[in-house]
């Protein structure tokens, strides 16, 4: 079945189309939710809630842009709503991730041997505010103005939390280097 056929079937409430949609996209969308969640169970809850929203709102997809991109945005927004906005505004508030995230530590040998799972684990251990903004900016590609609007914060808060997230990640990677020596 094509995405268009699945979408039409989902609009009609056909269970086999909903199952097909879930089976086709669940693993990639789970990856998105895992970047925002604290643990696997939270990621699965986010994914489940997002699919409920996708099925309820699927008739709103007008075909402008990518269907998967539309669903990713629902997953991201669902993840953001799982955590209260007040938590984001606190002051403490994969190669592409490496490239965009931590240019200052690329000369540290531990960084060069850091696997994707290890890097994602370090990101996942960031405080909620740092982690959410880091993911939105570095991985999802949102700009600070967009992040600020999504989270109800000032663009400067987004920028400062991104800088602090990068500094904390750099510190952790340097710590790994000391342990490895």
Quote the pLDDT of residue 97.
46
Count of Cβ atoms closer than 10 Å to residue 8 Cβ: 15
Quote the pLDDT of residue 107.
47
- The DSSP letter of residue 93 is -
Q: Which CATH number fits domain 3-82: 1.10.1740.10, 3.40.50.300, 3.90.660.10, 3.50.50.60?
A: 1.10.1740.10
Quote the pLDDT of residue 44.
94
CA distances from 95 to 129, 143, 164 (A): 23, 20, 21
Domain boundaries, the chain: 3-82, 86-180
Q: Mean pLDDT, consecutive 10-residue segments, the chain of 181 residues?
A: 92 94 96 88 93 94 89 91 51 42 47 69 86 88 89 91 91 75 50
Quote the pLDDT of residue 85.
40
């Amino acid at each position: 079945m094509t995405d268009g056929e699945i979408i039409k079937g989902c609009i009609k409430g056909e269970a086999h189309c909903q199952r097909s949609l879930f089976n086709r996209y669940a693993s990639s969308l789970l990856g998105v939710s895992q970047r925002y969640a604290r643990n696997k169970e939270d990621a699965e809850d986010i994914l489940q809630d997002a699919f409920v929203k996708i099925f309820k709102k699927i008739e709103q997809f007008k075909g402008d842009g990518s269907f998967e991109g539309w669903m990713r945005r629902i997953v991201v927004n669902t993840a953001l709503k799982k955590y209260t906005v007040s938590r984001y505004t606190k002051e403490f508030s994969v190669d592409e991730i490496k490239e965009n995230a931590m240019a200052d530590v690329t000369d540290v040998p531990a960084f060069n041997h850091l696997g994707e799972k290890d890097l994602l684990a370090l990101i996942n251990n960031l405080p909620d505010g740092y982690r959410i903004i880091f993911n939105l900016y570095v991985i999802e590609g949102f700009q600070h103005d967009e992040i600020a609007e999504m989270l109800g914060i000032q663009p400067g808060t987004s920028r400062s939390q991104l800088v602090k997230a990068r500094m904390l990640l750099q510190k952790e990677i340097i710590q790994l280097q000391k342990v490895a020596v």
